[in-house]
């Protein structure tokens, strides 16, 4: 099991039901929360910036739509823009791709998690929330294989249990927690830097 005192970044994947989960999770974190959080929420390609604006208004953390070549900074939440895969580069910046959909999704959770795992290795925490497909399962396995820490929302607690179930079956995560327990886990972690 990885040493969870050495997490440098958090990646979060959500799909159906994710808006509710993110509205509950992100506002629960204090402005002093030190880790950057990178989020893929499956949304319509034609979506405006409403999700990001709403989450930013509700949260003490800075929540923003990610920009090309933007450095990943502590205490900031980066939301993948509609219809672009979000990738983590080796210089700890973000980039975007219009490549084919993965698991019928662009942005794809797998793409974010796999590229973040390559860069952060054992210093990454991956979290899969509610969703109606299997996106994120392979990505979470990549996080685990690189020594990162993995959490999945309990299917019984998820608005849509398919994505958590797929992630549990594929990645065998370190923890399976209800949303409130995930929030509690994040609030009590002392290992972000």
Catalytic residues: 15, 42, 135
> Containing H/E element for 95?
strand 94-97
- Distance, in Å, from the CA atom of 23 to the CA atom of 51, rounded to the nearest integer, reads 9
Give me 163's structure tokens: 């994505």
CB 108 within 8 Å of CB 128:
no
C-beta separation of 59 from 23 below 8 A: no
If residue 65 lies in a helix (H) or strand (E), which one and from where to where? strand 62-65
- The C-alpha atoms of residue 25 and residue 60 are separated, in whole angstroms, by 12
Sign (positive or negative) of CA dihedral 4, 164, 30, 119: positive
Helix boundaries (H) for 59-148: 109-120, 137-145
CA-based max dimension of the chain: 41
- Rounded-to-integer distance, Cα 34 and Cα 37, Å: 9
């Amino acid at each position: 099991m990885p040493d969870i005192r050495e997490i440098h970044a958090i990646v979060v994947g959500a799909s159906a039901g994710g808006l509710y989960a993110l509205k509950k999770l992100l506002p629960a974190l204090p402005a002093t929360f030190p880790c950057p959080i990178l989020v893929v929420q499956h949304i319509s390609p034609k979506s405006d910036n409403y999700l990001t604006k709403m989450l930013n208004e509700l949260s003490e953390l800075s929540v923003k739509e990610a920009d090309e070549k933007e450095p990943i900074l502590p205490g900031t939440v980066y939301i993948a823009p509609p219809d672009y895969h979000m990738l983590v580069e080796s210089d700890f910046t973000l980039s975007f791709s219009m490549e084919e959909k993965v698991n019928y999704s662009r942005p794809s959770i797998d793409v974010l998690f796999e590229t973040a795992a390559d860069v952060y290795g054992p210093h990454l925490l991956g979290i899969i929330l509610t969703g109606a497909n299997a996106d994120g399962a392979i990505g979470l396995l990549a996080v685990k294989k690189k020594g990162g820490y993995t959490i999945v929302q309990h299917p019984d607690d998820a608005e849509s249990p398919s994505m958590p179930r797929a992630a549990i079956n594929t990645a065998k995560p370190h923890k399976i927690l209800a949303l409130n327990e995930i929030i509690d886990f994040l609030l009590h972690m002392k290992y972000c830097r």
